[in-house]
Structure formats: structure tokens, C-alpha cells
């Protein structure tokens, strides 16, 4: 069965809903300090909830870069406590009497238990979303890297003098173009090297019976 929504989209949707749900409660909590000014309450609530989100995402970023996260965790704990307190205050003020006389302990625990759900959900979802985003960046970067190219190094060319001496040792025919190709040098360089070897009395140029040149070791 084809999935309509990817896991990443669902995570972001859950995170946004958790932020919006917590935002209303935190905004009301701050408005009680602003003579009921809900606009001022929302401004402060947005700062708290977005700060909590940014700290949670920052923890994942620092983990990927092998940096310390203790200071960020302290900030997460502080903002999470503020958000939980505001949710608890809202719950205590607006809680509805459920009429469960035999379950008073359960009713009493209701605002305390539920007030921390949204702040903790924001933290955990931010951690997951941040980790998934970091992993996606790593995968995308690795796919963009070009495949490693295998460099085949050619063996070094022999020196002209070594080629000429080898020909002289074998008593072979001398062909300047062949020596230039084998040594990777120019024909002029071959002639200069041959003249030097002749001057040092190491090899000698001779002609055989059919008029072709050959090299002889002295």
C-alpha cells in the first residue's frame, strides 16, 4: 500500500501541532502577568516555545560536529520547565470537574501529568526531526561526491643513455626515432646523449655490411 504521507512529514506535522497546542497555554500563562494582554502573552510564549525548539535542534547539530551539548541541555530543561509550569497553571485554572468521587487521586493528578506532555513532545520530536535532517544531509552529500578515480601510473621512461648502452651491449641496430620513442625524449636529445657517450668512449657508432648503423660497446 502506497503511503500518502512520508514519516518525515508526519513528524513535522506532529511537532507543529505540539508547538501550537503548547503555545496557547503558555501564552495564557504569560498574559496573567500582563493584565490579561493575550497579545503580549503570545509574544513571550512564541519566544519560549521556539527557543525550546531551537535548543533541541541545536543539540543534534552539535552532536554531528562532536561538540559539547551540556549547556544546551540545561537550556532545554529550563525552557521545558517554564512551558510545563504554564501548561500546569492553565490546567489547574480551567480543569473541569469530572464528578469522579471515587477517583479523586486520578482527577487530582490530571493537570500535573498532562501539563508536561506537550513540552516533552516538542523536545523529543525536535530531536528526531533534527537527527533525520542531519542524516539526509549526509546521504545527499555522499551522493554528490564523485566516484573515486583510479589513477594508473605509467612506469618511468628509461634514460636515453641506458637505452643506447643496452643497444650497444646487444650489438643491435641504432635507430634514433626508436630510441626517442622508448625514452620519451626528442630525437635531438637522443643525438646529444649519443654524442656524449661517444665522447666518453663508452659506445661507438658503426655501419654494418648493409649500411645500417649499429652501436658497439667499447
Residues of the chain under the 70 pLDDT cut: 1-6, 101, 132-154, 209, 211
Residue 36 zone, left/alpha/beta (φ > 0; ψ -120 to 50; rest): left
The rounded distance, in Å, linking the Cα atoms of 82 and 77 is 9
Cβ contact 90:28 at 8 Å: yes
Predicted confidence (pLDDT) per residue in 17-76, tens digit: 888 888 888 899 889 888 889 899 899 988 888 888 888 888 878 887 888 888 888 888
**Which CATH entry fits the domain spanning 160-217: 3.30.300.30, 1.10.10.10, 3.40.190.10, 2.40.50.140?**
1.10.10.10
The rounded distance, in Å, linking the Cα atoms of 25 and 41 is 10
Q: Sign of torsion, CA 155 160 164 166? A: negative
- Strand, helix or coil for residue 204: strand
* Predicted local distance difference test score (pLDDT) of residue 143: 60
**In the chain, which residues fall in CATH 1.10.10.10?**
160-217
Q: Sign of torsion, CA 32 34 37 40? A: negative
* Predicted local distance difference test score (pLDDT) of residue 133: 67
Instruction: Please state, in angstroms and as integers, the Cα–Cα distance from residue 20 to each residue in 45, 59, 84, following that order.
Output: 10, 22, 14
* Predicted local distance difference test score (pLDDT) of residue 15: 77
Cβ contact 164:187 at 8 Å: no
Instruction: Please state, in angstroms and as integers, the Cα–Cα distance from residue 24 to each residue in 43, 87, 101, 110, 209, following that order.
Output: 11, 9, 30, 18, 110
The cell numbers describing 40, all together, are 503580549
Cβ contact 60:33 at 8 Å: no
Cβ contact 82:30 at 8 Å: no
* Predicted local distance difference test score (pLDDT) of residue 144: 59
* Predicted local distance difference test score (pLDDT) of residue 39: 92
Amino acid at each position: 500500500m502506497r503511503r500518502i504521507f512520508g514519516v518525515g512529514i508526519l513528524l513535522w506535522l506532529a511537532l507543529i501541532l505540539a508547538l501550537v497546542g503548547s503555545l496557547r497555554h503558555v501564552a495564557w500563562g504569560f498574559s496573567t502577568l500582563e493584565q490579561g494582554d493575550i497579545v503580549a502573552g503570545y509574544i513571550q510564549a512564541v519566544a519560549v516555545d521556539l527557543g525550546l525548539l531551537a535548543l533541541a535542534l541545536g543539540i543534534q547539530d552539535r552532536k554531528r560536529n562532536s561538540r559539547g551539548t551540556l549547556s544546551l541541555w540545561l537550556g532545554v530543561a529550563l525552557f521545558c520547565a517554564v512551558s510545563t509550569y504554564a501548561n500546569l497553571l492553565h490546567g489547574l485554572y480551567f480543569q473541569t470537574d469530572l464528578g469522579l468521587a471515587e477517583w479523586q487521586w486520578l482527577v487530582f493528578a490530571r493537570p500535573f501529568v498532562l501539563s508536561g506532555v506537550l513540552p516533552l513532545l516538542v523536545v523529543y520530536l525536535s530531536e528526531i526531526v533534527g537527527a533525520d535532517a542531519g542524516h539526509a544531509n549526509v546521504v545527499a552529500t555522499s551522493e554528490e561526491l564523485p566516484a573515486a578515480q583510479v589513477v594508473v601510473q605509467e612506469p618511468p621512461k628509461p634514460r636515453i643513455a641506458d637505452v643506447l648502452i643496452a643497444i650497444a651491449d646487444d650489438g643491435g641496430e641504432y635507430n634514433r626515432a626508436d630510441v626517442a620513442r622508448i625514452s620519451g625524449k626528442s630525437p635531438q636529445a637522443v643525438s646529444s646523449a649519443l654524442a656524449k657517450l661517444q665522447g666518453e668512449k663508452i659506445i661507438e657508432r658503426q655501419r654494418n655490411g648493409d649500411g645500417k648503423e649499429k652501436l658497439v660497446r667499447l
